[in-house]
Amino acid sequence: MPRLRDIAWAGGLPFVALATAASPAAARDDVTHRVCSPNERICFALTTENEIPTYSVTRDDKPVIAPSRLGFMLRGDGKFEHSTALGEATYAEADRTWEQPWGENRLTRENYREMRVPIIELIGGKRRIDLIACVFDSGVGFRFAFPDQERLKDVGIDEELTEFNIAGEAEAWWITAGEWNRYEYLYNHTPANQVGTAHTPITFRRKDDGLHIAIHEAALVDYAAFWLQRIDGQRFRTRLSNSSEASKVRRTAPFETPWRTIIIGDDAPGLYAAADIILNLNEPNKLGDVSWVKPLKYIGIWWAMHLDQWSWNSGPTHGATTAHAMQYIDFAAKHGFDAVLIEGWNKGWDGNWIGDHGRNFNFAEAYPDFDMERVAAYAKAKGVAIMGHHETAGNSGLYAEQLDAAMDYYARHGVPSVKTGYVADAGGVLHKDAAGNEIWDWHDGQWQSRHHLEVVLAAAKHHISINTHEPIKDTGLRRTYPNWVSREGARGMEYQAWGDPPNPPEHEPTLAFTRLLSGPMDFTPGIVSLTGKGGREIPSTLARQLANFVVIYSPVQMAADLPENYEKHAQAFEFIKRVPADWERTRVLAGAIGDYAVFARQRRGGQDWYVGGVTDDQAREVTLDFAFLPKGRSYRAKIWRDGPGGGVGGDRFAMVVEEKTVTAATKLPIRMEAGGGFAIALTPGG
């Protein structure tokens, strides 16, 4: 048995004095390092079992993650897992409050205790990988640091072997991973031991005590996203997304992996609040002054295409014409919207743009019936911004080639925000190698993780924000790059136009406690016509369409319906015009995954509050407790709720709009019909 003291590290790393490891005891599994949350309730322990690194997580001394293995399959250098021992732990802690330039909360408290432990091989090359764990009162993040060393310099990670052994019988809400439609699947609700391979966030609810546990990751930079693959029972492990390269990840040491996160809450509302660990595990803003990143509400040349009334491609039904753009700008200006999204303005949509993998897209050339100069000047004169659009059809390589020209073009036309898109089946991300050969990658693989940051940084140079569709999952990078404002990454409203099946009413109350734990979603709410393509009925009430503006957070929030439909539904439209897209603070008032969700949010820098509630296909009554309001002050509450006889299966348009005076002491019962919901705007006074 080599003596660990003899291990010398390349690259000037400090020698790690291994008090326990220096003795033969090191090879026994009797070293455990532990770090607990500031309130001491959640603890992370690292040990070795049969010389395999093994961690566990407890809350109030009860297991949350039962002993779970850690390790890596390393290209050309074998598995890193067996015959390991732990070095000495070092500790740190932090307690600070930081401000989001925009967000669902202005202030976020970052309070954790941290532990770093070297995991060292006792055999062979004596490689070392460090584990860093941060424990918050609301969960755990841990990552691996690959120090600079001779045997691990150019690292090829074929697989990461991080296990999550969920303790206690649980049920799970999850979408399938590794399939063609990326993140756009309906959620499964199954016993935890019947999950297949899932995307994260995946949410578990324990049977005996109702504990909520969501597994996800934070700060996914230059690495492959992981899917959660079930091994047996309730034991899962990371499976890295695919790569065109032999290894799923290629890095040069020193580097760190993304954080593997375990978000813990007593109930669904608690879980949503606990998800702030995702932001807290990301690095602070690297862009400096980001006052140019502005939350905005927008309409768009969009729903008419999804209804098949207009087209993205050129021709008689072309949507993005100068005339249409000017009409939409007029409507936006009249009703106080900040921006108009214009899709299908640029060359490349004709023919089969999906089948051709976007090879014809040109991001700086408009169709002849779209006069960008004129539209931009008109928008400027009306005080409305254009929201740009770059659909790539997954051809990230072509987009990267044109990136600077594309951003420069939009910047010259005063465009502050661009929606990007990567419509392609999983595995259909196209780029070229140095010799010009076509290479295929994955939407959530390492190559695409790099591509997204390249786009975000190129946009930042031009003071442009990015809203990504068909994205890589959100892992909180908006903290570091605040111009990455939103993304899709789940089934959004478009499925109510043409989805087969459309999103059922349980979709939004499921999203609230799964996908939305990861960050903002450009869901594109507000289809007040309740009608999709070819006249299909959307399974929602009118009031619920309003609720989604509060429930589903995005700093770029679309009012997605056609202008003429808003004109027809003036009462509903009033709420859509009033509701902000940027918040001072957020409170989840009530909810159960897949059943219902009630959110309250206070306008950023204002005193008005907004409440939104949605239910699944069950009608239910919730009692709203207004204790979140400041004490001793009256508020005027304007309420939009499902009317009698309303609900899916009834009159979906039935809506009661009424006013009431409430205070922090008010408890107000409110009924949601099947597939329904409600929205409330609260202003001081009354």
Contact 518, 624 (CB under 8 A): no
Choice from 163, 488, 561, 595 touching ligand NOJ (CB under 6 A): 488
Please give the structure tokens belonging to residue 9. 């590290």
Min. distance of Cβ 343 from ligand NOJ in angstroms?
Answer: 5
Q: Which is nearer to ligand NOJ, 81 or 494 (CB)?
A: 494
Rg for the chain, CA atoms, rounded: 26
423 contributes a contact to ligand NOJ by CB under 6 A = yes
Min. distance of Cβ 524 from ligand NOJ in angstroms?
Answer: 7
Q: Residues 160, 494, 506, 508: which is the catalytic one?
A: 494
Contact characters 611-640, ligand NOJ, x per CB under 6 A: ------------------------------
Whether the CA torsion 214, 215, 216, 217 is positive or negative: it is positive
| Site residue total, ligand NOJ (CB under 6 A) | 8
Label residue 267 exposed, middle or buried (CB < 10 Å: 0-12, 13-18, 19+).
middle
Residue 355: count of CB within 10 angstroms of its CB: 9
494 contributes a contact to ligand NOJ by CB under 6 A = yes
Q: How far apart are CA 206 and CA 79, in angstroms?
A: 33
Please give the structure tokens belonging to residue 498. 């043409």
Residue length of the chain = 686
Choice from 452, 469, 601, 652 touching ligand NOJ (CB under 6 A): 469
Which residues, numbered 377-406, are part of the site for ligand NOJ (CB under 6 A)?
391
Q: Which is nearer to ligand NOJ, 130 or 494 (CB)?
A: 494
Min. distance of Cβ 585 from ligand NOJ in angstroms?
Answer: 30
Backbone angles phi, psi at 624, to 5 degrees: -80, 130
508 contributes a contact to ligand NOJ by CB under 6 A = no
561 contributes a contact to ligand NOJ by CB under 6 A = no
Contact 176, 490 (CB under 8 A): no
Min. distance of Cβ 663 from ligand NOJ in angstroms?
Answer: 42
Contact characters 266-305, ligand NOJ, x per CB under 6 A: ------------------------------------x---
Residue 665: count of CB within 10 angstroms of its CB: 11
494 part of the active site? yes
Min. distance of Cβ 481 from ligand NOJ in angstroms?
Answer: 21
Label residue 645 exposed, middle or buried (CB < 10 Å: 0-12, 13-18, 19+).
exposed
Min. distance of Cβ 670 from ligand NOJ in angstroms?
Answer: 32
Which residues, listed in sequence order, are joined to residue 635 by a DSSP beta bridge?
Answer: 662, 684
Which residues, listed in sequence order, are joined to residue 228 by a DSSP beta bridge?
Answer: 198, 238
Contacts of 575 (CB under 8 A, 6+ apart): 546, 549, 638, 640, 679, 681
Min. distance of Cβ 316 from ligand NOJ in angstroms?
Answer: 20
343 contributes a contact to ligand NOJ by CB under 6 A = yes
Q: Which is nearer to ligand NOJ, 133 or 418 (CB)?
A: 418
Contact 74, 87 (CB under 8 A): no
Q: How far apart are CA 510 and CA 516, in angstroms?
A: 9
* Cα distances (Å, whole numbers) of residue 344 to 301, 325, 459, 673: 9, 11, 20, 38
Q: Which is nearer to ligand NOJ, 72 or 353 (CB)?
A: 353
Q: Terminal CA-to-CA distance of the chain, rounded, Å? A: 79
Q: Which is nearer to ligand NOJ, 80 or 523 (CB)?
A: 523
Which residues, numbered 213-272, are part of the site for ligand NOJ (CB under 6 A)?
none
Q: How far apart are CA 214 and CA 416, in angstroms?
A: 34
Contact 638, 684 (CB under 8 A): no
Q: How far apart are CA 521 and CA 514, in angstroms?
A: 12
Choice from 71, 118, 394, 421 touching ligand NOJ (CB under 6 A): 421
Min. distance of Cβ 612 from ligand NOJ in angstroms?
Answer: 22
Q: Which is nearer to ligand NOJ, 203 or 503 (CB)?
A: 503
For β-strands 465-468 and 484-487, DSSP reports them as: parallel
Catalytic residues: 494
Interface positions with ligand NOJ (CB under 6 A): 302, 343, 391, 421, 423, 469, 488, 494
